[in-house]
Amino acid sequence: MLDIHYIRHNIDKIKKGASIKGFAVDLDLIIVLDDKKRELLYTIENIRAQRNQNAKALPKLTNTERADAIQKGKELKEALTKEEASLATIDAELKELLLYVPNPPLDGIPAGKDDRDNVEIKKWGHIPQFEFQPKSHDELGELLDIIDVNQSAKFAGSRTYILKNEGALLEHAVTRFAVDHILKKGFELFSIPVIVRDEAMIGTGFFPLGKEDTYTMEKDALYLIGTSEVSLVSYYSNEILDVKNLPKKSVTLSTCFRREAGTYGKDTKGLYRVHQFQKVEQVIICKNDINVSETMHTLLLQNSEEILQALGIPYRVALACGAETGLGQVKKNEIESWMPSRNAYAETHSCSSLHEFQARRSNIRYRDEEGKIHFVHTLNNTAIASPRILIPLLELNQNKDGSVNIPKVLQPYMNGISMIKKK
């Protein structure tokens, strides 16, 4: 959420940012409502002042004058009630509209319509050249008896999967390796709720726009998270932190859920786009300083790159264009890993800076060295997400007979298994 004062003084910048991101928002109506709110506040303060003046004068009045003053007091009370009701209505409408105002992207974010307009800024690794016809991850999964989508579809529907045997072990291995790598960087480990209230979703910017893609438990007014960022950020909601304790660096491994609304017919085969997945998420809460934010963004991105490099997965880093930069993000980098079955790089990681956006919505602040209160900056990044990361892991490490080599860094987490073989 953006500060209304910031909106009023930067309306052209925000309109331009909304256009770059592809969001439609009526900023002129917001200004009109804020003007009305200001007028009502002024009127209410005047009425309250008159009531106080009227009440103070009562003891000094004659009986006749007191009767007139009492009547005037009743009239002022009715007027105040009416104006306060109008203010509540205007304020509620204004707050609702403010939830849809996008955070303007940083200067230099490219315009674009979709991920094809993202700008590549880095590549790492070499694309392997197989001396045989490589199999896709779903073919390998069936051959090695480690992935089963048919049985899961029988009782859980489409976009579901079952990992079996070494497949399940491989998911545990890669997620645990990612957690351990991040912990070495001084991050604090959390185990978090995956079921949250709407204020957590609103506070982190996933509601109201993302509600269609969220699994809802209507009876309990609760929601399944699509990323543990929701819980890690909300942990600090309505808190005033000490600047001495910043930055707060946290990591968690959790199950996440997405309805994948609007993706009908897209990536229906295999493990690329599923409803339930495991994700190791990094979140940083830091000082309200653009330079500090940029340093933290680089750190988060570097952590993910180090994990991919240790796994030997070729990747590229791209700067997301405006249309791929979400409501609250001022900057987003995507990491795309090479997937032989797609003969292309495909997104596996997303690193985002949001500045004050989530902090204002979630009311997360800190007290600086001089005792002044500021909203924090928030950032997040995927360290690893499974089963999507299993696609390049399986496909890039396959042998001609369909067996799959396990990267050395994962073997200690695989009970010493160095190769998955056909049973």
Q: Which of 350, 353, 362, 386 is catalytic?
A: 350
For residue 388, indicate whether it is catalytic: yes
CA-wise closest residue to 34 among 71, 66, 2, 78: 2
Q: Which of 136, 334, 388, 395 is catalytic?
A: 388
What is the rounded radius of gyration, in angstroms, for the C-alpha atoms of the chain?
Answer: 27
Q: How far is the CA of 260 from the CAs of 160, 166, 204, 218, in angstroms?
A: 12, 27, 19, 19
Q: Is the Cβ–Cβ distance between 313 and 121 less than 8 Å? A: no
H or E element, residue 359? helix 357-362
CA-wise closest residue to 248 among 388, 377, 80: 377
CA-wise closest residue to 404 among 390, 414, 394, 413: 394
Question: Helix 27-57 to helix 11-21 angle, to the nearest 10 degrees?
Answer: 140
What does the alpha-carbon distance between residue 161 and residue 158 come to, in Å, rounded to a whole number? 9
Which token pair is 340?
Answer: 């032989």
Helix, strand, coil abundance in the chain, percent, nearest 5: 45, 20, 35
For residue 259, indicate whether it is catalytic: no
Which token pair is 31?
Answer: 């200004």
Q: Which of 8, 48, 197, 273 is catalytic?
A: 273
* Residue owning tokens 């079955």: 341
What does the alpha-carbon distance between residue 276 and residue 87 come to, in Å, rounded to a whole number? 43
For residue 188, indicate whether it is catalytic: no
* Residue owning tokens 């609304």: 261
Query: Any idea what DSSP says for residue 107?
Result: T
Q: How far is the CA of 312 from the CAs of 93, 239, 258, 328, in angstroms?
A: 52, 41, 28, 33
For residue 166, indicate whether it is catalytic: no
Q: Is the Cβ–Cβ distance between 351 and 381 less than 8 Å? A: yes
CA-wise closest residue to 316 among 103, 118, 64, 85: 118
What does the alpha-carbon distance between residue 58 and residue 75 come to, in Å, rounded to a whole number? 15
DSSP 165-199: HHHHHHHHHHHHHHHHHHHTTTPEEE---SEE-HH
What does the alpha-carbon distance between residue 91 and residue 87 come to, in Å, rounded to a whole number? 6
For residue 258, indicate whether it is catalytic: yes
Q: Which of 136, 159, 258, 360 is catalytic?
A: 258
What does the alpha-carbon distance between residue 143 and residue 394 come to, in Å, rounded to a whole number? 12
Q: Which of 229, 281, 334, 347 is catalytic?
A: 347
**Active centre residues (catalytic):** 258, 273, 347, 350, 388
